[in-house]
Amino acid sequence: MSEINIAVIGAGVIGKRHMQEVANSDQCRLVAIADPSPEAEHHAGTLGVGLYKDYRKLLDTERIDAVIVCTPNSTHVEVGMACIDRGIPVLIEKPIGDDLATVRALAEAARSARVPVLVGHHRRHNPMVRAARKVISEGRIGKLVVANIMCLAYKPDDYFVVPWRRRTGGGPILINMIHEIDLIRHLCGEIVSVQAVSSSRTRAHEVEDSAACTLELENGMVANISLSDTAATPWNWDTAAGEDRQLFDYRPVPTHFFAGTNGSLSLPDSTLWSYDGEKGRHRPIQDERIPMEEENVYANQLRHFIDVVNGVVEPLIDAHDAVQTLATTLAVVEAARTGQKIQISADIRFRAGDAIA
């Protein structure tokens, strides 16, 4: 197939990462960038591609086959809708948006216009997540009972110079915890209720700096997530999984624990624990490493997106699926605000497993 023409809207931290993957791919080429910032002008100059300050002008001027949206959370729906209106397949960074009504409208618009939308929950493209999903779905750890997940990192002060990251619509629940919620849905099943506590006492931003939540799954599993962007630890996926070693230190410590009645699995070290024969805490429990090759998850995601654009596969996480991840994440915000247990709406049209062949 011939190379596809890609435009990137939003040339900040993750936009540059996507552009790097596009540059390394022989299946696509970057044709233009849209971003109003002076830094983007400089970046476009170094790459030798066109720069538009207004993304609509880019969409109406350039011949593009696909768009990657990497703007702040609150703008994803507006920019995504502009692509859908023009029939252009789009990869929208996570979260799909920050408001349920508008993201549902986007998902419906994409469905009725038959424009594919892939959402940037990049961990689903990680081979260790694929392997974990296989282990769990094959019943190798038995009936799922509990998950315990740490998302504890220290973000440096200059990270917060960018205003949207410390205001409502940003914050670590919507920026980071959403990855954990999507991972739980992807590996373990649908979440039906949420309880949560959050605190903004350390950073004193409009949004939380720390939170803890307890999730109840449809299958009876209970999952806990601990979150902070002001905790000096290696216990977070970005540090432990090594997906982006240009940006983050790499310390491969276990941070995610999935426990079942016959065994347990920790990630990202991909260690499977089980008994040989009779089960019981008095008996020796064996550990086994799941073997796998390392892969570049962002390159995997881009290759998958190109297959989506070419009509070869359905998106691994489409707009409807991402709406459900967002709905659950916003329920954490709401549960922490009100102190109430929040039931996730029963009108879930999408089930987590449906997207996977």
Q: How deeply is 338 buried, as exposed, middle or buried, from its count of CB atoms within 10 A (0-12, 13-18, 19+)?
A: exposed
- Would you give the binding string for ligand NAD spanning residues 22-41, x where CB under 6 A is met? ------------xxxx--x-
Closest distance to ligand NAD from the beta carbon of 21 (Å): 12
Round to whole Å and give the CA distance between 9 and 17.
Answer: 12
Which residues, at least 6 apart from 45, have a Cβ–Cβ distance to it below 8 Å?
51
Round to whole Å and give the CA distance between 220 and 114.
Answer: 35
Note whether 180 binds ligand NAD by CB under 6 A: no
- DSSP for 336-351, written as a single string: HHH---EEPPS-----
Cis bond upstream, residue 254 (ω within 30): no
Of 31, 84, 175, 319, the one binding ligand NAD (CB under 6 A) is 175
Tokens 């044709």 locate to 31
Helices (H), 203-318: 237-241, 297-309
Round to whole Å and give the CA distance between 25 and 231.
Answer: 36
Note whether 9 binds ligand NAD by CB under 6 A: yes
Closest distance to ligand NAD from the beta carbon of 47 (Å): 14
The interface with ligand NAD within residues 111-140 (CB under 6 A) comprises: 120, 122
Q: Which amino acid is at 96?
A: I
Specify whether the CB–CB gap between 190 and 347 falls below 8 A. Answer: no
Nearer to ligand NAD, 164 or 273 (CB): 164
Which listed range, 69-77, 133-141, 272-280, 288-296, lies at the site for ligand NAD (CB under 6 A)?
69-77
Note whether 224 binds ligand NAD by CB under 6 A: no
Note whether 296 binds ligand NAD by CB under 6 A: no
Of 162, 285, 292, 312, the one binding ligand NAD (CB under 6 A) is 162
Note whether 227 binds ligand NAD by CB under 6 A: no
Contact footprint for ligand NAD (CB under 6 A): 9-15, 34-37, 40, 55, 70-73, 75, 93-94, 120, 122, 162, 175
